[in-house]
Amino acid sequence: MFSWDAQRYLTFAGERGRPFADLLARVSVAGPTDVVDLGCGPGNLTRLLAEIWPGARVRGVDSSPAMVEAAERDVPEVEFELADLRDWVARDEQVDLLVSNATLQWLPDHLDLLPDLAARVRPGGSLAFQVPGNFDEPSHTIRGELAAEPPYADHTVGVAVPASHAPEVYLDVLARAGLEPDVWETTYLHVLTGDDPVFTWVSGTGARPTLQALPDDLRPRFEEEFKARLRAAYPDRGHGVVLPFRRIFAVGRRPAAGSEVAP
């Protein structure tokens, strides 16, 4: 098991928030009354939902006590709930807009879950999500290679690692679930500054389960080697460290009552 650190996650809040804004720009829902953000994290992006649709009931759901605590403290205008995404889906509740931002990649079976998520969308509403698609980049492969080496391997076997699928896979699943799919991908070139910024980025997300799985006497050694390899893979170019980050976006719209998805 691992836990999230809301403050570490927010270190690059601006860069992490760009994909969420780009996702919402392709959502077209007329006058939603119920909006839910599954995997809301510290709530800083859920706040945007309340600003865009001030007349809607906006809720955030997350399974991390630390994230929900931060969200309730910093975003009091939104309702937050501590719950597993899959448990929320099992309630058979329907909403106008269901959003999930950089969360589904942590669920190995999320393709099987997508039809259930689609079923929670009312006619005329949408399911919108984005997941990272950069798992073959050095920021992830270096972690995996190092974690498989002794003496770390004994402690990191079976730790949670994120994963996603090709855009066309998501398109097919959404279409089969009765939604009108709009799927695309974007590679951002984030210019990061500070000491070991790529390590700071991944230690708050994809590498966190691995780091927490290591005992205290091994973690500093692992971190120093991880940082050194990341510096070699992502050198400072004089204007900062460039981190290419591919993301996959999907919006599935349920046709209004009385209409059908075009064949």
Q: Could you tell me how many residues make up the chain?
A: 263
**Structural domain span for residue 62:** 6-253
In a domain, 258, yes or no: no
Strands 95-101 and 34-38: parallel
pLDDT tens-digit series, residues 49-70 = 999 999 999 999 999 999 999 9
In a domain, 261, yes or no: no
Cα–Cα distances (Å) from 84 to 40, 46, 62, 63, 107, in that order, read 11, 17, 6, 5, 11
Assess whether pLDDT exceeds 70 at residue 180.
yes
pLDDT tens-digit series, residues 113-135 = 999 999 999 999 999 999 999 99
Assess whether pLDDT exceeds 80 at residue 209.
yes
In a domain, 108, yes or no: yes
In a domain, 1, yes or no: no
What integer pLDDT is reported at residue 15 of this predicted model? 84
In a domain, 132, yes or no: yes
In a domain, 187, yes or no: yes
pLDDT tens-digit series, residues 135-160 = 999 999 999 999 999 999 999 999 99
Helices (H), 91-137: 110-119
What integer pLDDT is reported at residue 263 of this predicted model? 46
Assess whether pLDDT exceeds 90 at residue 12.
no
In a domain, 259, yes or no: no
In a domain, 87, yes or no: yes
CATH number of the domain at 144, please. Answer: 3.40.50.150
Q: Please state the domain count of the chain.
A: 1
Stretch (H or E) spanning 49? helix 46-52
